[in-house]
Amino acid sequence: MSSNKQAYWKANLRLVAGCLVVWFVVSYLFGILLVDVLNTIQIGGYKLGFWFAQQGSIYVFVGLIFFYASRMNKLDRKHDVHED
Amino acid sequence: MELQTLTFIVVGLTFALYIGIAIWARASTTSEYYVAGKGIHPIANGMATAADWMSAASFISMAGLIAFKGYDASVYLMGWTGGYVLLAMLLAPYLRKYGKFTVPEFIGDRYYSKAARIVAVICLIVASLTYVIGQMKGIGVAFSRFLEVPFEVGLFAGMSIVFVYAVLGGMKGITYTQIAQYCVLIFAYTVPAVFISLQLTGNPIPQLGLGSTMADGSGMYLLDKLDLVLTDLGFAAYTVQKGTTINMFLLTMSLMIGTAGLPHVIIRFFTVPKVKDARVSAGWALVFIAILYTTAPAIGAMARLNLMNTIQTGEIGSAEGNLAYDERPAWFTNWEKTGLLKYEDKNDDGRVQYYNDKNKAFSDKMAADAGWSGNEMVKVDRDIMVLANPEISNLPNWVIALVAAGGIAAALSTAAGLLLAIASSISHDLLKGVFRPDITEKQELTASRVAMAGAILVAGYFGLNPPGFAAQVVALAFGLAASSLFPALMMGVFVKRINRAGAIAGMLSGLGSTLVYIFWYKGWFFFPGTEMMANTPDNWILGISPEAFGAVGALINFVVAWSVSNVTEEPPEHIQHMVEDIRVPGNIGTPSGH
DSSP code of B432?
I
pLDDT for res B590: 40
pLDDT at position B377 is: 92
> In this predicted structure, what is the pLDDT of residue B472?
57
Indicate the burial class of B337 (C-beta count within 10 angstroms; 0-12, 13-18, 19 or more): exposed
Does the beta-carbon distance from B248 to A4 stay under 8 Å? no
Task: Please report the pLDDT score of residue B522 as a whole number.
Answer: 78
Three-state DSSP state, B343: strand
pLDDT attached to residue B592: 40
A-chain CB neighbours of B580 within 8 Å are 1, 5
Q: What integer is the mean pLDDT of A31-48?
A: 94
Rounded average pLDDT over B76-86? 95
Chain B residues with beta carbon closer than 8 angstroms to that of A79: 584
Taking an 8 Å cut-off on Cβ atoms, the answer to whether B280 and A44 are in contact is no
Alpha carbons B577 and B584: distance in angstroms, whole number: 12
Q: 3-state DSSP call for residue B351?
A: strand
HEC letters along B223-274: HHHHHHHHHHCCCCCCCCCCCCHHHHHHHHHHHHHHHHHCHHHHHHHHCCCC
Amino acid at A35: V
Please tell me the distance from the alpha carbon of residue B546 to that of residue B83, in angstroms, as a whole number: 19
Domains of chain B: 3-304+392-463 (1.20.1730.10), 313-390 (no CATH)
Cβ separation of B213 and A9 shorter than 8 Å? no
Q: Count A/B contacts: CB-CB distance under 8 Å.
A: 145
**pLDDT of B193 strictly over 50:** yes
Q: What average pLDDT score do residues B330-339 get? A: 82
- What pLDDT was estimated at residue B474? 63
Residue numbers in B near A31 (CB within 8 A): 74, 78, 252
Q: Which residue of B has its CA nearest to A70?
A: B280
Query: Which chain B residue lies closest to A76 (C-alpha atoms)?
Result: B585
In this structure, are residues B486 and B265 in contact, taking their beta carbons and an 8 Å threshold? no
> Does pLDDT of B492 surpass 80?
yes
The number of beta carbons lying within 10 Å of the beta carbon of residue B542 is: 9
Q: Which residues of A touch B584 (CB under 8 A)?
A: 5, 8-9, 79, 81
Higher pLDDT, B34 or B556: B556
- Average pLDDT, stretch B49-70? 89
What pLDDT score was predicted for residue B564?
96
| DSSP state string for A4-66 | HHHHHHHHHHHHHHHHHHHHHIIIIIIIIITHHHHTTSEETTEEHHHHIIIIIHHHHHHHHHH
Task: Write the CB contacts of B240 (distance below 8 Å, at least 6 apart in sequence).
Answer: B70, B71, B227
What pLDDT does residue B219 have?
A: 87
CA distances from B447 to A45, B356, B440 (A): 57, 56, 10
In degrees and rounded to multiples of 5, residue A43 shows phi and psi of -115, 105
- In DSSP terms, A76 is beta-bridged to none
Annotate A44-73 with b (16+ C-beta within 10 A) or e (fewer): ebbbbbbbbbbbbbbbbbbebbbbbbebbe
Q: Give the rounded distance of the alpha carbon of B583 from its chain centre.
A: 30
B382 and B158 Cβ atoms separated by less than 8 Å: no
Computed over every residue of chain B, the mean pLDDT equals 88
Rounded to an integer, what distance in angstroms lies between the CA atom of residue B8 and that of residue B5? 5
Check residue B510 and give its pLDDT.
93
**Closest chain A residue by Cα to residue B213:** A45
Tell me the C-alpha distance between B466 and B136, whole Å.
Answer: 10
Q: Measured between CB atoms, does B214 come within 8 Å of chain A?
A: no
**CB within 8 A of B327, min separation 6: which ones?**
none
pLDDT in tens, B407-432: 888 888 888 899 989 999 998 888 88
B586 touches chain A (CB under 8 A): yes
The answer for B 291-310 residues in CB contact with A (under 8 A) is 293-294, 297
Please tell me which residue, B11 or B26, carries the higher pLDDT value: B11
pLDDT by residue (tens digit) across B503-561? 999 999 998 999 899 888 877 777 777 888 888 888 888 888 888 899 999 999 999 99
Q: CA-CA distance, B159 to B461, in Å (whole number)?
A: 10
How far, rounded to the nearest angstrom, does the alpha carbon of residue B100 sit from its chain's CA centroid? 26
Cβ contact A50–B583 (<8 Å): no
At B382 the three-state DSSP class reads: coil
Is the per-residue pLDDT at B250 higher than 90? yes
User: By three-state DSSP, how is residue B377 classified?
Assistant: strand
